[in-house]
Amino acid sequence: MGVPFLDLKAQYAQIKAEVQASVAAVFDEQAFVLGKYVEGFEKDCQQYLGVKHAIGVSNGSDALLLALMAAGVKPGDEVIVPAFTFFATAGAVARLNAVPVFCDVEADTFNIDLESAARKITPRTRAIIPVDLYGQCAAMEAVMDLAREHNLCVLEDAAQAFGATRQGKQAGTFAHFGCYSFYPTKNLGGAGDGGMVCSNDDELADRIRLLRVHGERPRYHNKLVGICGRLDALQAVVLAVKLKRLDAWNKRRAEIAAAYNKRFAASGKIKSPPVAKGNTHIYHQYTIRVANRDQLQARLGEKGIGCGIYYPVPLHLQECFKAVGGKPGDLPVSEQLCRESLSLPIFAEMTEAQVKEVADAVLAAVG
Ligand SMILES: *Cc1c(COP(=O)(O)O)cnc(C)c1O
């Protein structure tokens, strides 16, 4: 039969009428940028996340860029970033002519390795960006302790973890800034690009609001050099419709993950993704580790089962970071995960039959 990696059409079918009515309202008013719909969605997020300020921005990459700008990161400053994450986490640092300094991750959770991070701290280190990779929080309280000790600003990259919790607290609310992406394939995804920065600090939040509109306040009077980093009203209304259903969708993802875990537990060849103590996982990705990853991917491809490799190249070995990156062997866990990890189909609308088909195919392929 085959199973797609992700089926956004199945999700849209459930919310089509409501989305279309919301989008029509925005068109009727012809008020497309920021405004009351964006403010309404920001309030929804503040409430959902239990955070003082939620600021809608253009995308997740700009959320990181704006937070680094608001933190006052300057050219030549060092920012610690895990090597095993999406490019944007480090790209935002480099965009400011600051230096991404790569550290390793933990082999089980895929999240930042605090010992590796601590070894990278120098007098030039200004900030650190832990990532809640695949949908579960990094060890945020330990990150905050380390940051306090060295007076670092912390940006929690929660682009993949909207709705995940740690010790009952929402992902993205532990640090000076939380950065989210509403890219369509994320668990909370819009109809195009979108993002959010949240913060509990009034002054930092105000600086984000200012920087997202060219540092302009009042109109045509620029206090700071910012960017064009606004969220569209169309995105806000679509996201507001989806936010109401997010917990139910995330719950269903966790059920699918549990079903996979159960099937794979008996096989000695597949490492299922563990959930760290105190965490709830929203499974933006369900990512296994296998020794013969490329062969498994090819076998699944033959059966029409979609899967993805997040990520094939660790950031310290990316061509664009030649000057600041490193050499093979520097960050062994990140390098190994790039060789061994494979993400399987997971989305709330997956049927039992589809889950079974994927698990059967994986087990048959690894033998
Ligand atoms: C998706 C993602 C981003 C960037 O988000 P965009 O909205 O695509 O700019 C940043 N960090 C991580 C970890 C992501 O997964």
Atom of ligand 1 nearest to the CA of 133: 13
343 in ligand 1 pocket by Cβ < 6 Å? no
Measured by CA distance, the residue closest to atom 7 of ligand 1 is 60
From 6, 110, 160, give the residue whose CB has the most ligand 1 atoms within 8 Å, as the site to mutate: 160
Residue 195 in contact with ligand 1 by CB distance below 6 A: yes
Q: Return per-residue pLDDT of the chain as tens, 367 residues.
A: 899 999 999 999 999 999 999 999 999 999 999 999 999 999 999 999 999 999 999 999 999 999 999 999 999 999 999 999 999 999 999 999 999 999 999 999 999 999 999 999 999 999 999 999 999 999 999 999 999 999 999 999 999 999 999 999 999 999 999 999 999 999 999 999 999 999 999 999 999 999 999 999 999 999 999 999 999 999 999 999 999 999 999 999 999 999 999 999 988 899 999 999 999 999 999 999 999 999 999 999 999 999 999 999 999 999 999 999 899 999 999 999 999 999 999 999 999 999 999 999 999 999 8
Provide the residue ranges of all domains of the chain, joining segments of one domain with +: 8-103+110-243, 246-366
Rg (CA), the chain: 20
Check pocket membership of 132 for ligand 1, CB cut-off 6 A: no
Protein residue with its CA nearest to atom 3 in ligand 1: 60
Give percent helix, percent strand, percent coil of the chain, each to the nearest 5: 45, 15, 40
Domain pair 8-103+110-243 / 246-366, same fold: no
- φ, ψ dihedrals at 130, nearest 5°: -70, 145
Helix (H) or strand (E) holding 341: strand 341-344
CA within 13 Å, CB half, 119: 12
Q: How far is the CA of 86 from the centre of ligand 1 (A)?
A: 7
Pocket test for ligand 1, best of 57, 66, 81, 86 (most atoms within 8 A of CB): 86
Any ligand 1 atom below 6 A from CB of 165: no
Say how many Å lie between the CA of residue 85 and the centre of ligand 1: 9
The pLDDT assigned to 23 comes to: 98
Which CATH superfamily, name and number, covers 246-366?
A: Aspartate Aminotransferase, domain 1 (3.90.1150.10)
Going by their DSSP bridges, the two strands 99-103 and 78-82 should be labelled as parallel
Sequence-ordered alpha helix ranges (H) in 151-292: 202-211, 233-243, 246-265
Q: Which atom of ligand 1 is nearest to the CA of 194?
A: 7
Q: Across-strand partners of 199? A: 53
Alpha-carbon span 208 to 214, nearest angstrom: 10
User: Looking at ligand 1, which atom is closest to the CA of residue 183?
Assistant: 7
CA of 194 to the centre of ligand 1 (A): 10
How high is the pLDDT of residue 266? 87
For residue 13, CA distances in Å to 5, 17, 348 come to 17, 9, 13
Q: What pLDDT, on the 0 to 100 scale, is given for residue 164?
A: 98
Quick check: CB of 131 below 6 Å from ligand 1?
A: yes
Distance (angstroms) between ligand 1 centre and the Cα of 1 equals 32
The pLDDT, as a whole number, for residue 185 is 98
Q: Which residue minimizes the CA distance to atom 14 of ligand 1?
A: 159
What phi-psi label fits residue 72: left (phi over 0), alpha (psi between -120 and 50 degrees) or beta?
Answer: left
Taking the C-alpha atoms of residue 188 and residue 196, their distance in angstroms, rounded to an integer, is 11
Q: Is 59 in the pocket of ligand 1 (CB under 6 A)?
A: yes
Mutate to test the pocket of ligand 1, among 58, 89, 136, 239 (most ligand atoms within 8 A of CB): 89
CA of 59 to the centre of ligand 1 (A): 8
Among residues 42, 54, 117, 56, the alpha carbon closest in space to that of 82 is found at: 117
Tell which atom from ligand 1 comes closest to the C-alpha of 85. 13
For the Cβ of 88 lying below 6 angstroms from any atom of ligand 1, the answer is yes
Does domain 8-103+110-243 correspond to CATH entry 3.40.640.10?
yes
